[in-house]
Amino acid sequence: MSNRCVVFCVLLAGFCFISWKHSLIGVKDALKLAGRGFIFLGICTWLIYMFPRLKYFFFPVCQELPDSPLHESNRQKQEQVRRVQQHQHNDKTSDYAESVIKPRQSVLLQQRMERYHRMTGETWKLSQGFPVGGEEDQMCGDADADENPNQGARRRRKLLQTVTQDPVQQEVPKQKKVIVLPDEPSADTEGVVKIALRCPSGRTICRRFLKTWSSLLLLDWMMKTGYHPALYTLCTSYPRTELIAAADVSLEEAGVLTNTVLNVEEKEPSIT
């Protein structure tokens, strides 16, 4: 409010000064005009100051009276009704959760567990199972009905002894395969090829063979080196092809015609 008064005073003073400059009035008339302006400004300021008080004087604010007993009882009834409705909604929500949501969640969880056990191969966890001795009691229930307690106890004791007894395992002597490679031919022998085995460990082994020899000798040589044919195979360097090894296939028929480098590689697991 003070900023507005200052601006108004400045504008009024400027207006009075400009009017006096462009008029023919004298100094006395100018002072009278300025005095009247200040009087008008004072009256306006006083009215602005007194306006809120006059407003409260002519239009008094009515104070809120305390609620009557009737209004208080109505308010309590409304609150009671709201509480009852809220309790009803809560009961409906809990009933819906117990009868609909939780069964759905349990079914989804069971399906996920079954899918997980099938993927991991642990399908035995999906069975309900039975207590120790339960299956035996169920199978022998009819037999127990026809015998006295002593006979049943004797039969169970014999059955327990046969179950706990370690079965006699007959040791079958394993025939160990003895790998015998033919003597290495000389370098000037006709039909000699030099074959190098490049092992996964980085080691390279060389040996001379005849083209007419069986290609199975290469697998025996690889096994003697320490790589079993059940896990490893022989492949050519370029182009990469798996070497055909059979008893009736010679090295020449398998594709070994000149000095060759063969790679010992792991067999790819067969997907069945």
Q: Which of 13, 36, 57 is the last residue of a domain?
A: 57
| CATH number of residue 257's parent domain | 3.10.20.90
Is residue 82 one of the residues assigned to a domain? no
Q: What is the DSSP letter of 199?
A: -
Is residue 222 one of the residues assigned to a domain? yes
Residue 78, phi then psi, degrees to nearest 5: -65, -40
Mean pLDDT of the chain: 77
Beta-sheet strand order (sheet of 260-266): 204-210, 192-198, 260-266, 232-236
Q: Which of 10, 39, 57 is the last residue of a domain?
A: 57
The whole-angstrom separation of Cα 236 and Cα 220 is 17
Percent of the chain past pLDDT 90, that is, above it, reads: 10
In sequence order, which residues have a C-beta less than 8 Å from that of residue 213 and are 6 or more positions away? 182, 250, 251
Is residue 102 one of the residues assigned to a domain? no
Is residue 178 one of the residues assigned to a domain? no
Q: Which domain holds residue 214?
A: 192-266
The total number of structural domains in the chain stands at 2
Is residue 88 one of the residues assigned to a domain? no
| Residue count of the chain | 272
Is residue 65 one of the residues assigned to a domain? no
Q: Which tens digit of pLDDT belongs to each residue from 47-86?
A: 888 888 877 777 766 554 455 677 888 889 999 999 999 9
pLDDT at 134 over 60: no
The reported pTM is 0.36
Is residue 113 one of the residues assigned to a domain? no
Q: Where are the beta strands (DSSP E) in 119-257?
A: 192-198, 204-210, 232-236
The H or E element spanning position 266 is: strand 260-266
Copy the structure tokens of residue 126: 């999906």
* Contact (CB, 8 A) for 215 and 226: no
Helices 2-21 and 27-58, axial angle in degrees (round to 10): 150
Is residue 75 one of the residues assigned to a domain? no
